[in-house]
Structure 1
Amino acid sequence: MQDAFGALAFFAKQSYVDKERVALLGFSAGGVATLAALKKRDTQIFEIPSGLDFAAGIAFYPCYGSSLDTVKPVLILNGEDDDWSKQSVCHSMMNLRPARAAAVKLISFPNAVHGFDRPSLYPGRMAFGHWIEYNANAAERAAQAVRDFLVDSLGRDR
């Protein structure tokens, strides 16, 4: 997670970046890190200018029991049949989120498992005791959901 803030600090200094509209995106453990990065931080290893923060987050299959304690817009994308990032855990996370986390949205894809967005995972296979497999329909729907979320959360070019 700390490396994401290092990247944010770097990119915020670039003339081609609108530092008010930077979203963080992560997959699996990176999705968990995305959720953690959107929470209030007490410590930071990088010098981050006051007020600089991610505007939104997108987390693919991050449901391992993380807290959704954020006021930032967050999109969670998960396969309903994922045996690693379990759908029941996604629902628990959503049900237990505080009221201030109203901008968190979960989209679940039927017949999709861990890695559903990665074409290189076709055909599917076992990895660390879990089934991973590409699902073209879920991948296309997820890509569109990400585009829509970014427009809704960060706005179009100003």
Structure 2
Amino acid sequence: MHAEILYPPPNIKIRSADDAPLIARLVINEQIRVLFESDAGAEAEVSLLRSGDDLKSDILIKGQHHSGDSGTPEFLDGVKPRLIIATSRESPVAEQITEEWSSEIERRAIKLLRQDLTGAVEIQFRGEDWTARSYLTGEAFRSSKR
């Protein structure tokens, strides 16, 4: 297992800490990729897409940017996740998952685990397979690489 820091780049000029979230990818057994997006917004997503890095990841774990701009269609095209684990909160409103975004995730056949509904999510890795399980509901989502 190893981690890769994808963002921020070393020489970035930022206006506020919200413009430079730590984005890292965990690579497990050289086969499973988990992208931790933190609360990155569209600006960080565009920068990652322009970097030329292969962003494809099995799991995307993301917060919501204070602007409400994150998880853009272009970013989802680059990451191609099978599962998204996302925060959503009542306040501020911009940090809530919108019905429109949730519908887009469903249209793309990506499983969405919203932490306002699932609570914590436990992920277990075994070889090239993984299982994500909701703490509150017990719902499980399994990879199917076999």
TM-score calculated relative to the size of structure 2: 0.46
More helix, by proportion: 1
Greater relative contact order (Cα < 8 A, sep 6+): 1
Question: Based on CA coordinates, which of the two structures has the bigger radius of gyration?
Answer: 1
More strand, by proportion: 2
